[in-house]
Amino acid sequence: MLIGELARRSGVSPRLLRYYEQQGLLGAGRGPNGYRTYDDEAVTTVRQIRALLAAGLSTTVIRTVLPCAEGEEPELEPCPELVATLRRELAAMDESIASMRRTRAALAGYVPPDD
Protein backbone atom coordinates (compact mmCIF):
# COMPACT_ATOMS: atom_id res chain seq x y z
CA MET A 1 0.00 0.00 0.00
CA LEU A 2 1.10 3.57 -0.53
CA ILE A 3 1.78 6.03 2.29
CA GLY A 4 -1.62 7.72 1.90
CA GLU A 5 -3.42 4.41 2.39
CA LEU A 6 -1.29 3.57 5.44
CA ALA A 7 -2.02 7.02 6.86
CA ARG A 8 -5.76 6.50 6.34
CA ARG A 9 -5.76 2.99 7.83
CA SER A 10 -3.56 3.85 10.82
CA GLY A 11 -4.86 7.35 11.55
CA VAL A 12 -1.32 8.77 11.41
CA SER A 13 -0.23 11.54 9.03
CA PRO A 14 2.12 10.75 6.15
CA ARG A 15 4.64 13.17 7.65
CA LEU A 16 4.68 11.19 10.91
CA LEU A 17 5.01 7.92 8.98
CA ARG A 18 8.08 9.32 7.22
CA TYR A 19 9.45 10.33 10.62
CA TYR A 20 8.93 6.79 11.96
CA GLU A 21 10.82 5.51 8.92
CA GLN A 22 13.69 7.97 9.56
CA GLN A 23 13.86 6.76 13.17
CA GLY A 24 14.18 3.13 12.03
CA LEU A 25 10.76 2.16 13.41
CA LEU A 26 8.95 1.49 10.16
CA GLY A 27 10.23 -0.13 7.02
CA ALA A 28 9.14 0.86 3.54
CA GLY A 29 9.92 -0.46 0.12
CA ARG A 30 10.00 1.58 -3.05
CA GLY A 31 7.82 1.04 -6.07
CA PRO A 32 9.09 1.44 -9.64
CA ASN A 33 7.86 5.03 -9.50
CA GLY A 34 9.92 5.71 -6.32
CA TYR A 35 6.88 5.93 -4.04
CA ARG A 36 7.05 4.34 -0.61
CA THR A 37 5.20 1.05 -0.34
CA TYR A 38 4.19 -0.77 2.83
CA ASP A 39 2.92 -4.26 3.54
CA ASP A 40 -0.28 -4.95 5.50
CA GLU A 41 1.73 -5.50 8.71
CA ALA A 42 2.72 -1.82 8.67
CA VAL A 43 -0.71 -0.88 10.08
CA THR A 44 -0.05 -3.08 13.13
CA THR A 45 3.49 -1.72 13.45
CA VAL A 46 2.23 1.88 13.45
CA ARG A 47 -0.35 1.04 16.12
CA GLN A 48 2.39 -0.60 18.20
CA ILE A 49 4.57 2.49 17.84
CA ARG A 50 1.69 4.75 18.91
CA ALA A 51 0.94 2.58 21.95
CA LEU A 52 4.58 2.53 23.02
CA LEU A 53 4.86 6.30 22.56
CA ALA A 54 1.73 6.71 24.70
CA ALA A 55 3.46 4.60 27.38
CA GLY A 56 6.15 7.27 27.51
CA LEU A 57 8.91 5.53 25.59
CA SER A 58 11.18 7.48 23.26
CA THR A 59 11.64 6.46 19.64
CA THR A 60 15.16 5.33 20.53
CA VAL A 61 13.83 2.92 23.15
CA ILE A 62 10.94 1.86 20.90
CA ARG A 63 13.46 0.87 18.22
CA THR A 64 14.95 -1.67 20.65
CA VAL A 65 11.59 -2.82 22.06
CA LEU A 66 9.60 -3.04 18.81
CA PRO A 67 11.02 -6.41 17.70
CA CYS A 68 9.54 -7.85 20.92
CA ALA A 69 6.05 -6.45 20.22
CA GLU A 70 3.19 -8.77 19.28
CA GLY A 71 -0.29 -7.57 18.28
CA GLU A 72 -1.74 -4.09 18.21
CA GLU A 73 -1.90 -3.48 21.97
CA PRO A 74 1.05 -4.47 21.91
CA GLU A 75 2.08 -7.32 24.15
CA LEU A 76 5.81 -7.50 24.67
CA GLU A 77 7.38 -10.92 24.36
CA PRO A 78 10.50 -11.44 26.43
CA CYS A 79 13.53 -10.92 24.25
CA PRO A 80 17.12 -9.99 25.04
CA GLU A 81 17.51 -6.92 27.22
CA LEU A 82 13.81 -6.01 27.05
CA VAL A 83 13.21 -6.22 30.79
CA ALA A 84 16.41 -4.31 31.58
CA THR A 85 15.48 -1.58 29.10
CA LEU A 86 11.98 -1.21 30.52
CA ARG A 87 13.29 -1.16 34.10
CA ARG A 88 15.72 1.63 33.16
CA GLU A 89 12.85 3.60 31.62
CA LEU A 90 10.70 3.12 34.73
CA ALA A 91 13.54 4.24 36.98
CA ALA A 92 14.04 7.37 34.86
CA MET A 93 10.32 8.13 35.00
CA ASP A 94 10.27 7.61 38.79
CA GLU A 95 13.17 10.07 39.16
CA SER A 96 11.35 12.60 36.96
CA ILE A 97 8.20 12.26 39.05
CA ALA A 98 10.18 12.69 42.28
CA SER A 99 11.92 15.76 40.87
CA MET A 100 8.60 17.29 39.81
CA ARG A 101 7.16 16.64 43.29
CA ARG A 102 10.12 18.44 44.89
CA THR A 103 9.74 21.36 42.48
CA ARG A 104 5.99 21.50 43.10
CA ALA A 105 6.49 21.53 46.87
CA ALA A 106 8.99 24.38 46.57
CA LEU A 107 6.61 26.38 44.39
CA ALA A 108 3.65 25.66 46.68
CA GLY A 109 5.71 27.14 49.54
CA TYR A 110 5.44 30.54 47.84
CA VAL A 111 1.65 30.46 47.58
CA PRO A 112 -0.15 31.95 50.58
CA PRO A 113 -2.78 29.71 52.17
CA ASP A 114 -6.45 30.29 51.32
CA ASP A 115 -8.49 32.00 54.03
Q: What CATH number is attached to the domain comprising 19?
A: 1.10.1660.10
> In this structure, is residue 114 part of a structural domain?
no
Report yes or no on whether pTM surpasses 0.85: no
> In this structure, is residue 7 part of a structural domain?
yes
Q: What is the pLDDT of residue 85?
A: 87
> In this structure, is residue 115 part of a structural domain?
no
> In this structure, is residue 67 part of a structural domain?
yes
Q: What's the CA gap between 27 and 25, in Å, rounded?
A: 7
> In this structure, is residue 71 part of a structural domain?
yes
Mind listing the pLDDT tens digit for each residue in 73-91?
788 887 777 888 889 999 9
> In this structure, is residue 113 part of a structural domain?
no
Q: What's the CA gap between 21 and 26, in Å, rounded?
A: 5
How many folded domains does the chain comprise?
1
Element (H, E) at 34: none
Mind listing the pLDDT tens digit for each residue in 21-71?
999 999 999 989 999 999 999 999 999 999 999 999 999 999 988 888 888
Q: What's the CA gap between 50 and 69, in Å, rounded?
A: 12
Q: Which residue has the higher pLDDT, 102 or 72?
A: 102
> In this structure, is residue 61 part of a structural domain?
yes
Look up the domain containing 11 and give its range: 3-108
> In this structure, is residue 63 part of a structural domain?
yes
